[in-house]
Amino acid sequence: MDSEVTALAARIAKAERLTILTGAGVSAASGVPTFRGQEGLWRQYRPEDLATPQAFARDPLLVWEWYACRRERLAACRPNAAHDVIAAWSQRSGCRVITQNVDDLHIRAGTRSLIRIHGSIWELSCWQSCAQGATPWRDETIRFESLPPRCPYCGGMARPAVVWFGESLRGENLRAALDATSCDLFLTVGTSAVVYPAAGLVHEAKRRGAFTAEINLEATPSSGDVDVAILAAAEDVLPRVASLMNAAE
Ligand code: OAD
C-alpha cells in the first residue's frame, strides 16, 4: 500500500484540476454512522425505508424522528483529519469537492468549492413546495417544539432539504458535479459507490481522461475500474498523502 500512497501523493501534487468525491466513510471517524455499516439501521429501518418521499407521505413523524435523532447525534460531531486534509486541498485553484454527505462537516472544516449533491440535514424546505418555501432555509434547531416542523411561509409541513431515493438532484448541483468530472485526477473517498448518479461520476471522469483513485476501507463496485484503489481508512491515508506532498515540496 505504501507505493500506492506515494503514487497518489505524486499525482495529487501535480494535478492542476483535482476533484474529490466523498461519502459517509469520510465522516465515520467523526462518529457519524455510515448508511450501509453496522450502525446504519435506526430502530429496524434501513435508510432506503425512510429516505423516500413515499415514507414521508405515509408517516412524516417517523421520518422526522429519524432526522431529529441524526441531527442530535451530529451536533456533537467534529470534523476529523480526513475533512481537514480535503479542506486544505480545496484552497488550491482547480480543486472541487463533491460530497454525498448531508452532515456539513466539510463546511465546518473550511472546504471551499463544495458541491453538496444530496443537500444538507441542517436545511429544511416546504413539503408542498410553496413559492418561497421551495428554496431551502437553514435551521439548526435540535429539538423542535413539535414534529413535524412547519414551513414559515405557508404553514404546511416542512421536510429535510435532502435528496431522497427516487428524487432528482438539484439541476445546478448535477451540472456542477458533471462539470467537475473534467479533471486531471478524480479521487473518491469513503463511498460504497452504489448510489447513482454519484456512483457514476468516477466512470465519467475516467471517460473524460482523468486518472482515478479510490480510498475505502473495503473494495467497492468501482475498485476494479479505478487506476489506484487504496484499502484503508480515510483519516489515516489522507494525512499520510498530505505529509508526503509537503515533504516533496
Ligand atoms: P455508505 O454507508 O453506503 O458507504 C460508506 C463507505 O465508506 C463504505 O464503502 C465503507 O467501507 C467506507 N468507510 C467506512 N469507514 C471508512 C473510513 N474510515 N475510511 C474510508 N472508508 C470508510 O455511504 P455512501 O456511499 O456515502 O443518500 O452512501 C451514498 C448515499 O446513500 C448517501 O449519500 C445516502 C445513502 O443512502 C441519500 O441519502 C440520498
pLDDT at 249: 72
Residue 144 CB partners (closer than 8 Å, separation 6+): 64, 68
Please determine, for residue 11, whether its predicted confidence score (pLDDT) is greater than 90: yes
**Averaged pLDDT, 177-195:** 97
What is the DSSP code (8-state) at residue 45?
Answer: B
Residue 25 CA to ligand 1 centre (angstroms): 5
Name the one residue in this structure whose C-alpha cell is 418521499.
Answer: 53
Residue 90 CA to ligand 1 centre (angstroms): 21
pLDDT at 117: 98
Residue 105's Cβ-count burial label (10 Å; 0-12, 13-18, 19+) is buried
Residue 166 CA to ligand 1 centre (angstroms): 18
238/235 Cα distance (integer angstroms): 6
Say if residues 36 and 43 touch (Cβ distance below 8 Å). no
Atom of ligand 1 lying closest to residue 167 CA: 39
Atom of ligand 1 lying closest to residue 34 CA: 2
Residue 187 CA to ligand 1 centre (angstroms): 15
CB 80 less than 6 A from any atom of ligand 1:
no
**Averaged pLDDT, 24-38:** 91
Atom of ligand 1 lying closest to residue 37 CA: 2
CB 195 less than 6 A from any atom of ligand 1:
yes
Residue 8 pLDDT class (50, 70, 90 cuts): very high
pTM of the predicted model as reported, rounded to 2 decimal places: 0.95
**Averaged pLDDT, 42-58:** 92
At residue 115, φ and ψ (nearest 5 deg) are -110, 110
Ligand 1 pocket: which of 27, 36, 118, 226 to mutate (most atoms <8 Å of CB)? Answer: 36
Residue 43 pLDDT class (50, 70, 90 cuts): confident
Residue 118 annotated among the catalytic residues of the structure: yes
CB 32 less than 6 A from any atom of ligand 1:
no
pLDDT digits (tens, 9 = 90+) for 150-163: 999 999 999 999 99
CB 233 less than 6 A from any atom of ligand 1:
yes
Mean per-residue pLDDT of the chain: 95
pLDDT at 79: 98
